[in-house]
Every structure is written in structure tokens, then in C-alpha cells.
Amino acid sequence: MPRDITTQGETIQDLQNLTATMAAYIQEVPHLEAPRALLEGLLGQMGPLIIRQADLGAQRQETSKELRGLLTEARRLGNFLRVGLKQHYGPRSEKLTTFRLQPFRGRKTAKPEEPEFPTAAAPASPDPKTP
């Protein structure tokens, strides 16, 4: 009983082996020649598609790499522009909210810490072991 085949590559390899083996023994099963030839044709059509799929994968990776580079440069320029806006309008200007920047509104006042007074501890009972 053949094992379960999970990947495309394993499936294609298995089907190629099947058609090659059947071609060698077609005299014993002549009634299966037409479906075998059809399968061989389908496998032949898959070859260019596999190459195309690999090429598209490489193009996708290259495009992703290019996009990451552009995104890094865009972030740098965005940060530069934000600093320029703060320089132009001033760090406290409410006009910065127009550009979705938060103006500096001062530090929040810290809550005064309440002093912790020690609670009255109950007198310790004498140790029964000591006389």
C-alpha cells in the first residue's frame, strides 16, 4: 500500500514513476494505455507551470526586498518631515495636531507619594523555649 504523498513535488515524482513503469509494462495492461498517455500529457503541461511558479516566487521575493528598502527610506523621510514641522511650528504648537503629531504639553505632575507609617505591631509573645 503506497504511503500518503503530501507535497506537490512528491506527487509529481510519484506520477512520473507510475507512467514510466506503466509504459514499460503496457503489453500487460493495454486497456490502460489511453489514460496513461493522458496522464503523461498532463505531467508534460505541468513542467512549464512549475518553472513559471518558481520564477514568480523569485520575483515575489525580489519585489518584497525592494519594497522593504523603499519603506525604510520612506520612514526616514517621514521622520525628517515630522522633525521639520516641529521645528517650523514649535514643539508646543497645537497646529501639529493637523499633521497628526502630538504637541508637547508639559510633563504630567507626579502624584505626591503618601508616607507609609508603620502599623502598630502586636507585642511579640515571649518565646516559650527561653526561661
pLDDT above 50 for 54: yes
**Contacts for 119-122: CB closer than 8 Å, 24+ residues apart:** none
Question: Which set of grid coordinates corresponds to residue 96?
Answer: 501639529
pLDDT above 60 for 95: yes
What phi, psi does 40 have (nearest 5°)?
Answer: -65, -40
- Report how far residue 68's alpha carbon sits from residue 58's, in angstroms, rounded to the nearest whole number: 15
Mean pLDDT of the region 110-124: 68
Domain spans of the chain? 8-99
pLDDT above 50 for 1: no
Q: What is the pTM of this model?
A: 0.52
